[in-house]
Structure 1
Amino acid sequence: MGKNTMNSDEKITRRGKGELIKRLLVYLKPYKWKSIVVIFLMLFVILCGVINPYLLKIAIDSNVANNDIRGLLKIGFLLVVINLISWVISRIRWKMISEITNNILVNIRHELYSHIQKLSFDFFDNRPVGKILARVVGDVNTLKNLFDQSIQSLIPELLNLVFVAIVMLILNVKLALACITLLPFLALAMFVIETYSRRRWEVYRNKRSNLNAFTHEEFSGVKVVQSFAKEDYTEEKFAELVKDQQKSFNRAVRLNDLFWPLVELSWGMGIVIVFAVGYKLILSGEIQIGTLIAFSMYTGMFWRPIMNLSNFYNTLITNFSAADRIFDILDINPDIENVEGAEKMSEIKGDVEFKNVAFSYNKNSEVLRNINFKVSSGEKIALVGSTGAGKSTIVSLLSRFYDVTSGEILVDNKNIKNVNLESYRSQMGIMLQDTFLFSSTIMENIRYGRLDATDEEVILAAKAVNAHEFISKLENGYNTEVNERGSRLSLGQRQLVSFARALLANPRILILDEATSNIDTQTEKLVQRGIEKLLQGRTSFVIAHRLSTIRDCDKIMVVEDGEIVEAGSHNELLEKKELYYNLYMAQYKFLNEGA
């Protein structure tokens, strides 16, 4: 997958109109009965509208012509009652349409969010977060008009058009044909506009996505921007992206704005043609004046749905690109999924075995080769080696963030490929160098390890990893807001909070990836004691560059160039005086020189 940067437009698969409409209509299925009720209410409103001109025709041609005041009052009363009932039903219809539309948008957003959570790390590594947010928020919101108008415009306006056309043909065929003379030309013009309009809206949504990605990243890194005094530079970039979005929007709207003038022009010319033909028919005695007046009203009623349908078509074209962007993500299959018939992982004891494991991210380079080792339940294993040697890849495979290229990984003698992912990962704990805390309280961040934990259990976990003391000194204690990504706390404090969270989750297999880097020596002592408590009674894998922190591990494995080249205890490896010995002595010498 190619890297998608902030400044590059996303490549979106353009789907056929029929395919998009079919997929979007699927979201209407759960509300089909409500939609049917809405359609029947619409039918009633349409019939009321169609009856109005006909009653007016009767009033003019019969009652007025014959000076029938009583009959005229009856028709007037009937018109008032019909239109009052129509207004009430329209209100009920609008409320139901709003409920259906909002529920559909909620369902789409949930489906999209849920699907994104299942996608591999590659998906997130190759896209700025802002571009993902643009689809989950902006593109889904854009579909609101589409669903609103699908229910309130497409079906009723089509029915309205059919009913009016039938009535017009019944009244007078010649006038009916005169009314629709310009319809084929309008359809051709709209087709031409649609062809170019959709492309322009695709460009606009890409430019908007670029701006969203830039804004999200710059605000996330605002400390770096301010520390290097790059505000003017970022403002220039922002202005450039805004200008690109503005240009693309203007180009798209300029073309879309041709829809309305074309329809209104056709409507106006249609009325002129109807009156011209109607005038001749009156002179020849084929129709009466009341019929022409009624027909002029029906002409408006015929072209108004065409106007609304063209507006719907306009909305459809405008939103096709948003639908394409949503379905582009929904059509991405997760790299890691449960195999068919995957069994639930029972409570893990902690025996781990790698058997002839090889792995590559792509066909050109092999990251791991012939990895073989066994770990017994409760053992503490350290992985050391130079940067890029393959240490993090080993624990990523154990976490099944990726699947092995060849070989197999067994946990409690079960191939992890054949077990349910959720039941397996829920029993693992992973601590990374970049500790992530949510924008919430310390209490809620620790409780994230086990959502049903009581406040007392959260506090006990914090005490166990030596986090309780510093938390108690904060202004609001455990109810202190940590701000975005935990920025209110120091690196060491964030680590201790994350240790408490991991301890509360009580994982059977624990992975610590550079968990003690980037913190001061005094804090490291606290963290180290927290780690000791955390490692008790569970199988643990520790990746560390500070070799002093892993001396007490049961086994240390040295990874170099994708292979395990040494394995043993700290003292055993020092006695060999090979790679681990050289690494340890070089670090010891460096620290002494620094002192």
Structure 2
Amino acid sequence: MKKETSKDTLVKRASPADEVEEQFQTVHFNWSLVRRLFDLTLPHRKLRDKLLLTVVLRAIQLPILTWMIGVIIDGPIRRGDFGQTLLYCAGLLLLVVFTEVVFYYRMKFALILGENAVNDLRREFFAKLQQMPMSYYHTTRLGRIISRVTSDIESLRVGIQQVFFVSMVQAGQMIFSAIFMIYYDFVLFCIVLAMAPVIYLLNQQFRSHVTRATRSAMESWSRVTATIAESVSGIRVTQGYSRQERNARLFKSQVDEHSSLNVEVARAQAVFQPLLEFNSQFFIVALILIGGWQVLHPSAATSIGDIIQFFFLANLFFAPIQVLGTQYAMLMQALAGAERIFKVLDSEPEWTDSPTAIDLPDISGHVIFRDVTFGYHKDRPVLHSISFEARPGQSVALVGHTGSGKSSIINLLGKFYLPDSGQILFGGRDIREITSSSLHRRMGIVQQQNFLFTGTILDNIRFSKPLATNLEVIEAARNLDCLDMIESLPEGFNTQVGEKGASLSLGQRQMVCFVRAFLADPRILILDEATSSLDVLTEKRIQNAIGKLLEGRTSFIVAHRLSTIRHANLVLVLDQGRIVEAGTHESLLALGGYYSSLHEQFVH
């Protein structure tokens, strides 16, 4: 199949859907993800730098406090000098107060910084979703998208607010404690240092297992949220077919799987952290033994006070090990979420507007399909060599059985997809040379699946023209002869439609969608089985209004009712992605072919 390769027409890219939704197989620690996660704080440098200052102060203060306690015990208390003891304790108290003030600001700055970074990320993620083409949403489950915005981003918040800066404090505490210990007794410190390879080996042993289990748990949670989203959206179908118990069993299996994966993560952490603690306690015993020998040995220069101070510092050195073990597990969860979030942010759409595409201030309504071939999968085309012309003001009807290609033509007209080969021309200009935004501004679409946003009827109508006045909205409703229908509702235009328009009937929702499309004053109008939700009386009521609104506009109509098709200037009869007949309603009936057969089936 021929593909466009010109840089002036279209930039083609591989579909990201499979890459975004894949299971994460790699289990190695990824420093690039850590750096990128930390880079989320770059837009808030001043706040981050203040936080880093409090981190450094906090890391220094804790060893100094421990050192001062040892100094007081080995100094004025050992000498029995009560006055100096009071003086030293007053200084210690001031340092404690200052330490707690620093601790307060460290927590405050970390929480604010994490919240700001997450807000930025949510906005970036939402903006990315707005840019993704229809193909992404056709291949990505809603629950997976929701999981990215909720649980995955929340894990990133924890990573920024806690893991980064708590780990920095703990690591700094260990470093400064080590400096003090080297000052007091280098030999004893070497014993402490001997623990490093043990910690490294334990870390290597459990890291892969914890990473794999964490990623699997987060992926299973994504499946759980996807099932919840689909179950809520399809609750009417579920209850209509009495599928509640079966769906509950399926959901229970997913929840059980997620629970078992969480237990696996907890089990790995439950083994890892006690092992770290055991090793730290083992080395403290070794320190007591060797330190005691040094004090008791006649030639040793080490005093009991030095040993006391050293053990205070050793406890301060070992204390962060268990905390860092917990932080590591949280970091794995944050990195798993980051990996999934960044996969979406880094994925490129299958296509984007060409850099040379221009904004059209107006569209004439002259549309030409020239030998267009298209498929949602490149190896399975659904449209084959489609060619037709719609002149300004003409009405084109698309007719055919389900799967014949009607909706695919509509998708191409709206530039939700681009053809694999051939051309679609608007006013003589290729669709690839027109920006999507300028095309959509001059196009109105009413679909069979009418979608209303949570809010009032007025809000939903204004969605197509946010700056429209109340009078303009009322006039649009009057032109469609549905003003009295809206005003008869409890609060008229201020009636809340509910989620997805649940408080309105199907006909009322569809009428709101009609008014919304016509308020935009489109040059090209697409009605995709738009009257299917209207009863016969309501449809008759708006036929004259539709006729007036179609005057001077090019329209494309997908409909089964002959009341709409009969007056079309051009009827395209589709079968298996090909145009098998074309003409007016009367000429196609006289031809006695495929359309005539469809008409016969419809009538009888």
TM-score (norm 1): 0.93
Say if 2:174 is the partner of 1:161.
Answer: yes
CA distance in 2, matches of 1:248, 1:47: 39
Residue 587 to residue 113, structure 1, CA distance change in 2 (3 Å)? same
For residue 351 of structure 2, give the secondary structure of its aligned residue in structure 1: coil
Match of 1:487 in 2: 502
Q: Partners in 2 of 1:120 and 1:2 — Cα distance?
A: 11
Code of the residue aligned with 1:417 in structure 2: it is R
What residue in structure 2 maps to residue 18 of structure 1? 31
Residue in structure 2 matched with residue 83 of structure 1 by the alignment: 96
> For the structure 1 residues 115 and 300, does the alpha-carbon distance in structure 2 shift closer, same or farther, using more than 3 Å as the test?
same
C-alpha change, 1:278 and 1:2, in structure 2 (3 Å) is closer
The counterpart of 1:305, out of the listed 312, 320, 337, is 320
Cα RMSD (Å) of the superposition? 2.2
8 Å contact from structure 2 (residues 373, 419) kept in 1: yes
Q: Are 2:536 and 1:524 aligned?
A: no
Matched, 1:152 2:127: no
1:204 has 2:250 as partner: no
How far apart are the structure 2 equivalents of 1:69 and 1:89?
Answer: 30
Q: Which residue of 2 aligns with 1:269?
A: 282
- The residue type paired with residue 304 of structure 1 is A
Alignment partners' CA distance in 1, 2:525 and 2:345: 32
Equivalent residue of 2:419, what SS? coil
User: Of residues 327, 342, 350 in structure 2, which corresponds to 1:335?
Assistant: 350
CA shift digits 1:66-105 (9 cap, x unpaired): 4443332222111111111221122122111111101111
1:261 deviates by 0.9
Any gaps of 5 or more consecutive residues in structure 2? Answer: 1-14
Q: Which moved more, 1:574-583 or 1:412-421?
A: 574-583
Distance 2:24 2:191 in 1: 44
Which residue in the other structure is 1:392 paired with? Answer: 407
User: What secondary structure does 1:257 align onto?
Assistant: helix
SS at match of 1:354: strand
What residue number does 2:192 align with?
179
Query: Which residue matches 2:598?
Result: 583
- One-letter code aligned to 1:127: T
Partner of 2:443: 428
* CA deviation after TM superposition for structure 1 residue 33, in Å: 3.0
Once the two structures are TM-superposed, the CA of residue 143 in structure 1 deviates from its matched residue by 1.7
2:377 corresponds to 1:365: no
1:39 aligns with 2:52: yes
Shift of 1:153: 1.5
Query: What is the CA–CA distance in structure 2 between the aligned matches of 1:349 and 1:88, rounded to whole Å?
Result: 68
- What residue is the counterpart of 2:11 in the other structure? none
- Tell me what 1:238 maps to: 251
**Helix, strand or coil at the partner of 1:264:** helix
Tell me the distance in 1 between the aligned counterparts of 2:413 and 2:238. 38
Q: Does 1:222 align with 2:265?
A: no
CA shift, 1:518, in A, is 4.2
44, 64, 67: which one pairs with 1:54?
Answer: 67
Of 190-199 and 544-553, the range deviating more from structure 2: 544-553
Q: For 1:526-545, what aligned pairs fall within 5 Å after superposition?
A: 526-545=541-560
Distance across 1 between alignment mates of 2:47 and 2:16: 44
SS at match of 2:177: helix
For the residues of structure 2 that align with 1:506 and 1:100, how far apart are their CA atoms?
45
Please give the secondary structure, in 1, of the residue aligned with 2:114.
helix
Kept in 1, the 8 Å contact 2:27–2:208? The answer is no
Q: Which residue identity does 2:149 align to in structure 1?
A: V
Offset, 1:542 = 0.8
Identity over aligned residues, as a percent?
A: 32
Please state how far the C-alpha of 1:253 moved relative to its aligned partner.
1.3
SS of 2:445's equivalent?
strand
How far residue 15 of structure 1 moved from its aligned partner, in angstroms, is: 7.2
Structure 1 residue 502: Cα displacement: 0.6
Greater length-normalized contact order (CA 8 Å, ≥ 6 residues apart): 2
Q: Identify the match of residue 71 of structure 1 among 59, 63, 84.
A: 84
User: Separation in 1 of the partners of 2:549 and 2:183?
Assistant: 85
Instruction: Give 2:569's match in structure 1, choosing from 533, 551, 554.
Output: 554
Distance 2:23 2:191 in 1: 47
Task: Output the amino acid matched with 1:260.
Answer: Q
The one-letter amino acid of 2:493's match is Y
- CA distance in 2 between counterparts of 1:246 and 1:10 reads 21
Compared with structure 1, are the counterparts of its residues 417 and 213 closer, same or farther at alpha carbon in structure 2 (3 Å cutoff)?
A: same
Equivalent residue letter for 2:230? E
Q: Provide the secondary structure at the position in 2 that maps to 1:333.
A: coil
- Shifted more, 353-362 versus 186-195: the winner is 353-362
Q: Among 391, 407, 412, which residue is 1:376 paired with?
A: 391
Are 1:573 and 1:581, in contact at CA under 8 Å, matched by a contact in 2?
A: yes
**Structure 2 letter corresponding to 1:348:** I
Deviation (angstroms), 1:530: 4.3
Structure 1 unaligned blocks of 5 or more = 591-595
Structure-2 separation of matches of 1:529 and 1:25: 61
Report the CA distance between 1:3 and its aligned residue.
9.9
* Distance of aligned partners of 1:529 and 1:483 in 2 relative to their CA distance in 1, 3 Å threshold: farther
CA distance in 1, matches of 2:360, 2:158: 45
2:521 corresponds to = 506
The DSSP-based 3-state class of the residue aligned with 1:258 is helix
Q: Which region of structure 1 is more displaced relative to structure 2, 568-577 or 243-252?
A: 568-577
Structure 1 residue 252 displacement after superposition: 1.7
Distance 1:446 1:130 in 2: 28
The amino acid of 2:44's aligned partner reads Y
How far off is 1:513 after superposition?
0.9
Distance, in Å, in 2 between the alignment partners of 1:363 and 1:220 is 31
Corresponding position: 1:97 with 2:98: no
Report the Cα distance in structure 2 between the residues aligned to 1:20 and 1:307, rounded to whole angstroms: 24
Q: 1:115 aligns with which of 88, 109, 128?
A: 128
AA in 2 matched with 1:92: Y
Say yes or no: does 1:476 pair with 2:488.
Answer: no
Say whether the 8 Å CA contact 1:509–1:540 is kept in structure 2.
Answer: yes
Question: Quick check: 1:140 aligned with 2:127?
Answer: no
1:533 CA displacement: 4.1
Counterparts of 1:333 and 1:113, CA distance in 2: 15
1:417 is displaced (CA, Å) by 1.0
1:506-525, Cα deviation, whole Å (9 max, x unpaired) = 22211111111243211221
CA contact (8 A) 1:3 1:126 kept: yes
Aligned partner of 1:570 in structure 2 is: 585
Q: Of 253, 257, 268, which aligns to 1:255?
A: 268
Return 191-200 or 55-64, whichever deviates more: 55-64
2:425 to 390, 393, 410: 410
Give me the whole-angstrom Cα distance separating, in 2, the residues matched to 1:138 and 1:167.
42
* 2:464–2:516 Cα contact (<8 Å) kept: yes
CA gap 1:336/1:431 in 2 versus in 1, 3 angstroms? farther
Q: Equivalents in 1 of 2:349, 2:204: separation in Å?
A: 38
1:312-327 counterparts in 2 under 5 A?
Answer: 312-327=327-342
Greater CA drift, 334-343 or 570-579: 570-579
For residues 260 and 489 of structure 2, what CA distance do their matches in structure 1 show? 50
- CA displacement, residues 341-391 of structure 1 (integer Å, 9 cap, x when unaligned): 332232222221222222223343332222222222222221222322222
Pick from 282, 286, 290: which aligns with 2:295? 282
**SS at 1:423 equivalent:** helix
Task: Summarize the Cα distance change of 1:214–1:394 in structure 2 as closer, same or farther, 3 Å threshold.
Answer: same
TM-score, normalised on structure 2? Answer: 0.91
Question: Is the Cα–Cα contact under 8 Å of residues 571 and 583 in structure 2 kept in the other structure?
Answer: yes
The one-letter code sitting in structure 2 at the alignment partner of 1:58 is V
Provide the aligned length of Structure 1 versus Structure 2: 585
